[in-house]
Amino acid sequence: MGGICEGRIVIVTGAGHGLGKAYALGLAAEGAKVVVNDLGVGTYGEAGVGASAAQQVVDEIRAKGGEAVASYADVADFEACKGIVQTALDHFGALHALVNNAGFVRDRMFVSCTPEEWDAVLRVHLRGHFCTSRHAVDYWRAQQKAGKPIDARIINTSSGAGLQGSVGQSAYSAAKAGIATLTLVQATELARYGITVNGLAPNARTRMTETAFAEQMKPKENEFDIFAPENMAPLVAFLCSEASRDITGQIFDLRGGRISVALGWIDGPTIDKGARWQASEIGAAVRDLVAARPAPKPVYGGG
């Protein structure tokens, strides 16, 4: 089909709907061969909802002249994730990029969140990123050890909720914050193997945003749809391409046509007494530090 990803072989998880579907279609339009992974669960992780979603996306890609294959593996099942990578190798002979996108929500105020809900959300998001990435990296390292040059990509999905928090989404926010930090560590550790790692904090309309932000994200008639999932696809295509080999360890925020890069945690104002603080005196110093720091972005939904 031609494009910036011509010849690249890419796995996209959670690609049956929303952002993942937009990524898969966008990558295929740019020439990539795509493994469309989707377990077929609902917004809350419930089973048996649209199990054919991955195949439908594959059919759409093929109808437009692209190449794709479906995968139905659970991204949080470590052994099953080996099969996702193997699907790419069996059908296309290689793997160049992994887009970790799969996830669901269990929105709940912290005081109402159950251990089961907490574990389910961290499992699919944080463990899911680990399982898929480990098997992809195992393949790339083996290729490098065999003397083959590697120019590989991992694209992780964090969130504004992970970078600044979101009321009613403590588990989701914690998982996405973990993914942001995981991205930094992976980028640093994996550079020696020819693997870049970047993250996304998407601003787009998906099944997950329908639970909390449906009204705010409605498309407006005769206006540019800034929350269309397709807006994110060109950035993902670039990050999966050979052209992005000098970009790593970044978290990108894209909303409509506005793209920004997150600064993350950086050292702020400092006071050094040069000796141990007394508990009775440290309060004044803490208040001075808080007053001197730039105002942080507010927690989503915090008023």
Q: Which residues are catalytic?
A: 159, 172, 176
CA distances from 236 to 23, 107, 186, 239, 286 (A): 7, 27, 18, 5, 41
Residues contacting 64, CB < 8 A, separation 6+: 1, 28, 29
Burial 130-166 (b: 16+ CB within 10 A, else e): bbbbebbbebbbebbeeeeeeebbbbbbbbbbbbbbb
Cβ–Cβ < 8 Å for 123, 131 = no
Helix or strand run (H / E) with residue 200: strand 195-200
Quote the CA–CA distance of 89 and 146 in Å, as a whole number.
16
Closest listed residue to residue 76, CA positions, set 130, 35, 116: 130
CA separation for the pair 299, 99 (Å, rounded): 27
